A and B are shown apart, each in its own frame.
Chain A
Amino acid sequence: MATNPMHQFEVHRIGPSLSINGIDVSFTNSSLFMLISSILIITFFMIGTRKVNIIPNKIQLINEIVFNFISKMISETAGPKAKPYFPFILTIFLFILTLNMIGLLPYAFTVTSQIIITFFLAVVIFIGVTVVGFAKNGIGFLKIFAPSGVPIFLFPIIVAIEIISFLSRPVSLSVRLFANMLAGHTMLKVFGGFVVSLGIIGGWLPLSFSVALTALEILVAFLQAYVFAVLSCIYLNDALNMHH
């Protein structure tokens, strides 16, 4: 019998219930996989930077490839002014990528399929970018809502659209990642259920679909982490290099 494909997204407590000043801070399966993901990233960097050489070894080379990849992405999308934000973008990218990838393992929990996680990350980026925008440009940052060269009678509408567009950034950023992860994992679970219910005779077709979907999901996992990081850079670019 096929299980409910949405059960995999349920958050449940691991260990005792913890609370600080009445706030529930219990350790959950979501927290566990966030912890595993961060430990993996730290281990990856620790091994890679343990013995750094001019001529790199394999793991150091992978470290450098990741570094150069993110560095290039930041400089291409947000320019040289965004260099101080490199560690933040790198952390965001690797954290989301690792969470997405770990979520693909059987019996693992996909943290990025939780809207509260993606939304919180998106809000942090949104607030951060807005703070940076005001810090760098002062009140002039508000020019982002007033594009130049707009006919005067269209101006109020354009400003309204720009404000809505700006405010919807955290929603679009978070829902994109959340929806992709949710849809992908649900599909995998549904096809997995078909394999079980159709058995050894009819289960081959959904199994082959499952294999193909897994490959697609690996791509999506990478792509969504990349899109999240790139969009963060683009928002940062708006704050650092005002176009309007």
Chain B
Amino acid sequence: MKNKSIAITTYLLFFNKIAAASEGMPQLNPEFWLSQILWLTGIFIILYFLVQKFFSPKLFSLIDARADFIKSLLKEAEIYKNQIQKIDNEYNLIIAEAKNESKKLSAKLKIDFNEKTSLKKKEFENILNSETQKAEQEINTFKKETLENIQSIAGEFSKELIEKITGTAPNSSNLNAVISEISNKEKKNQYV
């Protein structure tokens, strides 16, 4: 009884599907179901086998190798970065030292320059003073000589003039005494 009911149900289901297929759903036609399942199984197993055995390990090993390569490059880059940092620090230290040195040197040069300049100034002032003194002495000498010359010229000129006016030559010593007295008076008037 039970077997009979199962058989009827199966029959109805099967023929319902065939009926459905003939109505418009070819997918429900079980004619090629088994064939499709077998071909699907075969093709899928082959595909899966190829992917698992050949393609997948090849690409995975490559991806791993690339990751390792990138890791090693990053490590190398880190080392270079540290080296650069070290060199940069050293460079900064050298620059700072050089700046300090240059500051010290510039301060020292400034002091030296000031000292040398003041020394030169003093020397120059000394020279200038001595030269000025010399010049003053020369001027005084020249003045003195000029006055003496003026006195003798004035004596001679006065002698000639008196001789021409009076016709007699005056006494030279008296004339010189008068001229020196006048020139002394004039000197006094000039320096008062």
Residues 7-43 of A, flagged 1 when their CB comes within 8 A of B and 0 if not, give 1011101000000000111111011001100100110
Pair B25/A6 contact, Cβ less than 8 Å: yes
With CB as the reference atom, state the residue of chain A lying closest to B61. Answer: A52
With CB as the reference atom, state the residue of chain A lying closest to B41. Answer: A120
Pair B62/A52 contact, Cβ less than 8 Å: yes
Pair A26/B48 contact, Cβ less than 8 Å: no
Judge whether A67 is part of the interface by a CB distance below 8 angstroms: yes
With CB as the reference atom, state the residue of chain B lying closest to A7. Answer: B26
Complex Cα gap A90–B52 (Å): 10
Judge whether A64 is part of the interface by a CB distance below 8 angstroms: yes
Find residues 37-86 in chain B having any chain A CB closer than 8 Å to their own CB. 37-41, 43-44, 46-48, 50-52, 54-56, 58-60, 62-63, 65-66, 69
Judge whether A105 is part of the interface by a CB distance below 8 angstroms: no
The smallest beta-carbon distance between B52 and chain A, in angstroms, is 4
Complex Cα gap A31–B37 (Å): 9
Pair A54/B32 contact, Cβ less than 8 Å: no
Q: How many residues of B contact A (CB 8 A)?
A: 37
Chain A residues contacting B48 (CB-CB under 8 Å) are 87-88, 91
Which of B27, B46, B56, B65 meets A38, CB within 8 Å?
A: B46
Query: Knowing A25-B38, A95-B44, A116-B37 touch, does A182 contact B62 (C-beta < 8 A)?
Result: no
Task: Please classify how large the interface on chain A is, using the bins under 10, 10 to 19, 20 to 34, 35 or more.
Answer: 35 or more
Complex Cα gap A200–B47 (Å): 45
Judge whether B34 is part of the interface by a CB distance below 8 angstroms: yes
Pair B36/A38 contact, Cβ less than 8 Å: no
Residues 154-174 of B, flagged 1 when their CB comes within 8 A of A and 0 if not, give 000000000000000000000
With CB as the reference atom, state the residue of chain A lying closest to B32. Answer: A11
Which of B24, B30, B51, B65 meets A87, CB within 8 Å?
A: B51
Chain B residues contacting A26 (CB-CB under 8 Å) are 32, 35
With CB as the reference atom, state the residue of chain B lying closest to A32. Answer: B39
Judge whether A209 is part of the interface by a CB distance below 8 angstroms: no
Pair A38/B59 contact, Cβ less than 8 Å: no
Pair A34/B28 contact, Cβ less than 8 Å: no
Pair A117/B36 contact, Cβ less than 8 Å: yes
Pair A10/B51 contact, Cβ less than 8 Å: no
Pair B24/A4 contact, Cβ less than 8 Å: yes
Which of B39, B47, B56, B65 meets A30, CB within 8 Å?
A: B39
Which of B52, B54, B56, B65 meets A54, CB within 8 Å?
A: B65
With CB as the reference atom, state the residue of chain B lying closest to A30. Answer: B36
Chain A residues contacting B180 (CB-CB under 8 Å) are none
13 CB-based A-B contacts, threshold 8 Å: A10-B26, A24-B31, A26-B32, A49-B58, A54-B66, A63-B55, A64-B62, A64-B63, A67-B60, A68-B63, A87-B52, A115-B28, A178-B27
10 closest residue pairs by CB, A with B = A31-B39, A87-B52, A45-B55, A10-B26, A11-B32, A116-B33, A91-B48, A52-B62, A49-B58, A9-B26
Q: State the B residues within 8 Å of A (CB).
A: 24-41, 43-44, 46-48, 50-52, 54-56, 58-60, 62-63, 65-66, 69
